[in-house]
Structure 1
Amino acid sequence: MNDNSALTPQEVADILKIAKNTVYELIKRGELNSYRVGKKIRVDLKDVDEYRNKTKSVKSTNQPDSFTVNNKLNSFSEEELVRNNGFVICGQDILLDILSRYLQLHPNGIQALRSYVGSYNGLYALYQGNVQMATAHLWDGDTGQYNIPFVRRMLPGVPAVIIHLACRLQGFYVAKGNPKGIKGWEDLKRKELTIINREKGSGTRVLLDEHLRKLGISAKNIKGYERESTSHLAIASTVARGGADIGIGNEKSGLQVKGIDFIPLQSERYELVIKKEDIEKAPYQAVLEILRSQEFKMELEGIGGYDLTDIGKIVDET
């Protein structure tokens, strides 16, 4: 096979030993070059090799379904930061990719860079001044609140504004037909079950850990707890292939994978966090206008999986 060989997404998945849906996500995030031939997506072998070489220096998990995303906040070049006025939106949901596109086209907008890190690390980056906007879906088991307790603890002395984006259903991914009869969090006490976990710092990982704490379940007694993957799609794909009995993620992503049933457990609040000192600046006002626009809301409704009732609403000023 020569360097110019055109590969299908499935062939790329076979080479990288990942799920085909993960290939599509890499392409969507701009990490893997692709092109169209009619309605079909194709990837050159040389671009697959380039992707592999680019990620070799990044520590990865030893699981075949996990993949490396460009999530280091210092990975942006000085030229990129200057060109984009250092404006970085942090978070992993496709909603933010769409928001970035709208922001680039807005009269008072800006071209934003995207950093695909989890909620905890995103808030830390905002505190350090490395990103301008961070998203969070962090559940506090003691108060039952999302995000507000974490923002107040993780941005000490930094007044912040929390803007609601959407509510999403979080739950378990299980094999089609739920052959193990899994119902909820209490099932994590069953020693015969194996899970596939999200990476440290993600909102989903925090959700799991908070429920384990409240139920008095030791993580070391759960098979697969140390096995991590960095996307909902990869988690669901692992369960579909029989690599785990339980995965945790949102409903929208799980329904994209064949061979999966979704067990809803709780509704989570996905929200945007910015520093209060920035809210009157033009790009931030543009973001608020976009979030509250009917056009943006209609595009998200077309994707499905979001409750957009309070999108654009300021829910807390710390």
Structure 2
Amino acid sequence: MTEDISYTTEEIAKLLKISKLTVYDLIKKGELPAYRVGKQMRVDASDLDAYKRRSKGIREPAEEPPRPVNASGSLRPLVITGQDVSLDILAKHMEKSIPGVRPLRSYVGSLDSLISMYRGESDIVSTHLLDGDTGEYNLPYIRKLLIGSSYLVVNLLSRRAGLYVEKGNPKQLRGWSDLGQPGLRFVNRERGAGARVLLDEQLRLHGIAGSKLDGYDWEENNHLGVAGKVASGEADVGIGIEKAAAIVGGIDFIPLIQERYDLVLLKRPDNLEWIEAVLRILRSEAFLRELQAISGYDLSQTGRVLYET
């Protein structure tokens, strides 16, 4: 029976042929009722069927219009995008210390995160996008993509990025220019990922055509996937962060850049209270203590406001 069936947000996205961020947007607007089971959000089949009927313009005689998300004391979903584990820790602290909100995690890349914020689909986005011409992280992209929006940019952490290579570095790769070496088997990140933007900017600055990299179009959707392909011997080199190399093991990491990992928070009248609470969390001893237990993070600027419109 449909009342005994429920779906995850990923399953809903596949059934409706929409993105997971769009599913979260429907939940935020109260158009698709959802509830939490452990760390997962679930939607009952009956509620999905009701949403589909409404979308087709079919209204049942006894049907009431969907209630706003915050009606009757219900929790307000806040979508946090990005893939770093620090964001999961932030979401946990928010859930514990900010009443009335329900953090939802969406694991998408930096550029897609900013685009989702521009579309109104997310509330807190993380980004690590290098502008090769200025050497500046994030702000050049944020200013261009969030034109007309009011927002706050705050540092979450810094971390080292570079090359994943085979143990012992048999290809003797030392820098970005070495990626032009003939015969290298490369594994890439998906379009929109911060590591993909970092690679493309460095290739441009060093005059290397991506089309000449064997494997440039071979994409993995996270740092662990890239590191894993190098560890298995399927690729000679990939781009990513230091922490993933330590987790996967069996490979060497060549650090090339210190990247700044920032958060962007939309400023609206109904957001101001929880924005202040998020800033308190970022600067709290409890949050910093958890991040300090994870190797590879520079927390010297954590919680610092870098830009505000």
TM-score w.r.t. length of structure 2:
0.78
1:84, distance to aligned residue in structure 2 (A): 4.5
1:182, distance to aligned residue in structure 2 (A): 0.8
Q: Note the residue ranges of structure 1 that are not aligned, 5 or more in a row.
A: 1-49, 59-69
Match of 2:180 in 1: 189
Match of 1:226 in 2: 217
Q: Which aligned pairs between 1:161-200 and structure 2 lie closer than 5 A?
A: 161-200=152-191
Asked if the contact 2:129–2:138 (Cα under 8 Å) also holds between the matched residues in 1, the reply is yes
Taking the aligned partners of 1:97 and 1:211, their CA distance within structure 2 comes to 30
Tell me whether 1:125 sits opposite 2:128 in the alignment: no
Asked if the contact 2:12–2:23 (Cα under 8 Å) also holds between the matched residues in 1, the reply is no
Q: Which aligned pairs between 1:127-166 and structure 2 lie closer than 5 A?
A: 127-166=118-157
1:234, distance to aligned residue in structure 2 (A): 1.1
Give percent identity, aligned residues only.
44
In the alignment, residue 87 of structure 1 is paired with which amino acid?
Answer: L
In the alignment, residue 265 of structure 1 is paired with which amino acid?
Answer: L
Asked if the contact 2:111–2:127 (Cα under 8 Å) also holds between the matched residues in 1, the reply is yes
Tell me whether 1:75 sits opposite 2:66 in the alignment: no
In the alignment, residue 74 of structure 1 is paired with which amino acid?
Answer: T
What SS does the corresponding residue of 1:204 show, helix, strand or coil? helix
1:96, distance to aligned residue in structure 2 (A): 0.5
In the alignment, residue 220 of structure 2 is paired with which amino acid?
Answer: S
Asked if the contact 1:161–1:317 (Cα under 8 Å) also holds between the matched residues in 2, the reply is yes
After superposition, the Cα gap between the structure-2 partners of 1:295 and 1:137, relative to the gap in structure 1 and judged at 3 Å, is same
1:110, distance to aligned residue in structure 2 (A): 2.1
What SS does the corresponding residue of 1:255 show, helix, strand or coil? helix
Match of 1:90 in 2: 81
After superposition, the Cα gap between the structure-2 partners of 1:172 and 1:253, relative to the gap in structure 1 and judged at 3 Å, is same
Tell me whether 1:289 sits opposite 2:280 in the alignment: yes
1:280, distance to aligned residue in structure 2 (A): 6.1
Q: Which aligned pairs between 1:40-59 and structure 2 lie closer than 5 A?
A: 54=11
Q: Which aligned pairs between 1:236-247 and structure 2 lie closer than 5 A?
A: 236-247=227-238
Taking the aligned partners of 2:22 and 2:188, their CA distance within structure 1 comes to 26
Match of 1:211 in 2: 202
- The equivalent position to 2:252 in structure 1, one of 261, 264, 283, is 261
Match of 1:8 in 2: none
Asked if the contact 1:125–1:131 (Cα under 8 Å) also holds between the matched residues in 2, the reply is yes
After superposition, the Cα gap between the structure-2 partners of 1:185 and 1:107, relative to the gap in structure 1 and judged at 3 Å, is closer
1:216, distance to aligned residue in structure 2 (A): 1.5
Summarize deviations over 1:235-264 as a string: whole Å, max 9, x none. 111001111010110001111112110000
Taking the aligned partners of 2:157 and 2:249, their CA distance within structure 1 comes to 25
Summarize deviations over 1:39-81 as a string: whole Å, max 9, x none. xxxxxxxxxxx99x959959xxxxxxxxxxx973113352139
Asked if the contact 2:13–2:19 (Cα under 8 Å) also holds between the matched residues in 1, the reply is no
Q: Note the residue ranges of structure 2 that are not aligned, 5 or more in a row.
A: 1-6, 36-68
Match of 1:33 in 2: none
Match of 1:44 in 2: none
In the alignment, residue 208 of structure 2 is paired with which amino acid?
Answer: I
After superposition, the Cα gap between the structure-2 partners of 1:55 and 1:183, relative to the gap in structure 1 and judged at 3 Å, is farther
- The equivalent position to 1:113 in structure 2, one of 104, 110, 133, is 104
Taking the aligned partners of 2:281 and 2:123, their CA distance within structure 1 comes to 17
After superposition, the Cα gap between the structure-2 partners of 1:255 and 1:278, relative to the gap in structure 1 and judged at 3 Å, is farther
1:282, distance to aligned residue in structure 2 (A): 2.0
Summarize deviations over 1:244-303 as a string: whole Å, max 9, x none. 010110001111112110000000000000123359622211111110001110111012
Summarize deviations over 1:19-54 as a string: whole Å, max 9, x none. xxxxxxxxxxxxxxxxxxxxxxxxxxxxxxx99x95
Taking the aligned partners of 1:116 and 1:283, their CA distance within structure 2 comes to 22
After superposition, the Cα gap between the structure-2 partners of 1:238 and 1:71, relative to the gap in structure 1 and judged at 3 Å, is farther
TM-score w.r.t. length of structure 1:
0.76
CA RMSD, Structure 1 to Structure 2 (Å): 2.4
In the alignment, residue 90 of structure 1 is paired with which amino acid?
Answer: T
After superposition, the Cα gap between the structure-2 partners of 1:88 and 1:56, relative to the gap in structure 1 and judged at 3 Å, is closer
1:107, distance to aligned residue in structure 2 (A): 4.5
Asked if the contact 2:167–2:252 (Cα under 8 Å) also holds between the matched residues in 1, the reply is yes
More strand, by proportion: 2
- Which structure is larger by alpha-carbon Rg, 1 or 2? 2
